[in-house]
Copies of this chain bind each other. A is one copy, B any other.
């Protein structure tokens, strides 16, 4: 998934493109996932996200990941931003979508993906912001609050 290369004497981490979704259901609740993140040694509260599979377009990947992780599907989708995670050392790009009016359904998480789903009424988001550590999640929720 990640490759460390040295180009012109500089260490660069190559990373596959990713997608993330600010997912809002028909009851105006935003769905977040809390999961163990080995890289940071603890659980992190994030918007649903994942990596593009070979041949996938970002929107297609975002819809697949959201449905697998949460069961949510349908609704209206817009690309809200195209983010660079940390351009000082990695080329990872995250296509950030806003999906509203989503319908519930059955989820199908990857083996070993231990996800806790957290539903937050849109009106409660401002109070949640100080707890958010994940950069894409903070940017995505702030963009949603400006809509």
Contact = CB atoms under 8 A, between A and B. Distances in A.
Interface of A: 1-2, 4, 7-8, 10-13, 15, 18, 37-41, 44, 46, 49, 81-94, 130, 132-136, 138-139, 142-143, 145-146
A5 to B, nearest CB: 10
A85 B83 contact: no
A83 B134 contact: yes
B1 A2 contact: no
A147 B10 CA distance: 37
Number of copies of this kind of chain in the complex: 2
A136 to B, nearest CB: 6
A51 to B, nearest CB: 8
A135 B84 contact: yes
14 contacts: A2-B4, A10-B38, A13-B89, A13-B90, A39-B91, A40-B93, A81-B138, A83-B134, A84-B133, A86-B92, A87-B134, A90-B90, A139-B142, A142-B143
